[in-house]
Amino acid sequence: MTRIKICGLSREEDIANVNEAGPDYCGFIIQVPRSRRNVSPERAAELSIRLDGRITPVGVFVNAPAELPARLAREGIIRMIQLHGQEDEDYIQRLRCLTDVPVIQAFSVASREDVRRAKDSSADYVLFDQGAGGTGKTFDWGLIGSMDRPFILAGGLTLENLTEAVKRVRPWCVDVSSGVETEGYKDQEKIKAAVAAVRRMEE
């Protein structure tokens, strides 16, 4: 069964929309100023408390001090940590000492070597993306090959290619951000359609 994560929530409307659609996970991009979906830790807390308890909140971080995601996890604001920067194995082990929530490590895929590095990661899950995330661009899915560990597929997933992605790549989870937006904002109907498309694959 493939799961689905809606990433980059920043408004109360976004929370209401995912609560209605019912994805497995949602993502808050926390303290990443270069992202237009950036929220402060305080804003993430305000949004997370409104989230349906069946949806797992994921904090997305880029080279943040390990103490920040660990603190938000301890406070129950997030229940998974996603690393989208240059965090290394030492960083992951530091997180392990600070919190026991699952860790996702993102890898930008340009070659099979990137996939090989992901296979060696000590994170609980790895995520394959085209680049920095939220760019709306895909990468060559054929580079993934066979994976003997759960992985998340991201990068340019839209209503037009989501079903094909699940059928071809068989990811543990798909991560959708710009693909469920209209004019830069999360779109209620697109979120519902994306979740429904993934759920249909289970039938």
Please, are residues 72 and 41 in contact by the beta-carbon 8 Å criterion?
Answer: yes
Per DSSP, 131 falls in state S
What is the Cα–Cα distance from 132 to 13, expressed in whole angstroms?
25
Q: Is 186 exposed, middle or buried (0-12, 13-18, 19+ CB in 10 A)?
A: buried
Please, are residues 55 and 26 in contact by the beta-carbon 8 Å criterion?
Answer: yes
Active site residue 129: yes
Which amino acid appears at position 96 of this protein? R
Q: Tell which residue, 165, 194, 189, has the closest CA to residue 177.
A: 194
Instruction: For residue 111, count other CB atoms closer than 10 A to its CB.
Output: 10
Active site residue 7: yes
Calculated CA dihedral for residues 124, 164, 155, 127, nearest 10 degrees: 10
Report the sign of the C-alpha dihedral through residues 131, 137, 143, 145, in that order.
Answer: positive
Q: Is 180 exposed, middle or buried (0-12, 13-18, 19+ CB in 10 A)?
A: buried
- Which of these is catalytic: 7, 14, 26, 175? 7
- Which of these is catalytic: 14, 26, 129, 173? 129
**Residues catalogued as catalytic:** 7, 129
